Amino acid sequence: MHMLLNSSVGRKMLVAVTGQVMVLFIIMHVLGNSTVFFGELNAYAEKLHAMPFLVWIIRICMSAVLSVHVFFSIKVTFENWKAKPGSYAVTQHLQSTFASKSMIWTGTVIGAFLIFHLLHFTFQVINPASAAGANMDSMGRPDVMRMVVSSFQQILLSSIYVTAMIGLVLHLFHGIQSSFQTLGINNERSMPFVTKTGSITAVILFLGYIAIPLIILLGLLKG
In a domain, 222, yes or no: no
Domain that holds residue 110: 2-217
Cβ neighbours of 2 (radius 10 Å): 7
In a domain, 223, yes or no: no
In a domain, 168, yes or no: yes
Q: How many domains does the chain have?
A: 1
**DSSP conformational letter for 222:** -
| Residue 181: predicted pLDDT | 85
| Residue 24: predicted pLDDT | 97
**With 0-12 CB in 10 A as exposed, 13-18 as middle and 19+ as buried, what is 152?**
buried
In a domain, 27, yes or no: yes
Integer Cα distance of 84 and 176 in angstroms: 26
| Residue 193: predicted pLDDT | 86
For residues 113 and 164, is the Cβ–Cβ distance under 8 A? yes
| Residue 81: predicted pLDDT | 81
In a domain, 104, yes or no: yes
| Residue 78: predicted pLDDT | 87
| Residue 3: predicted pLDDT | 56
Q: What is the CATH number of the domain that holds 107?
A: 1.20.1300
| Residue 1: predicted pLDDT | 58
Element (H, E) at 155: helix 155-182
In a domain, 73, yes or no: yes
| Residue 90: predicted pLDDT | 39
| Residue 84: predicted pLDDT | 56
10-residue mean pLDDT series, the chain (223 residues): 71 94 97 96 96 96 97 89 56 60 93 97 92 94 96 96 97 92 77 88 97 96 81
In a domain, 38, yes or no: yes
Integer Cα distance of 212 and 148 in angstroms: 9
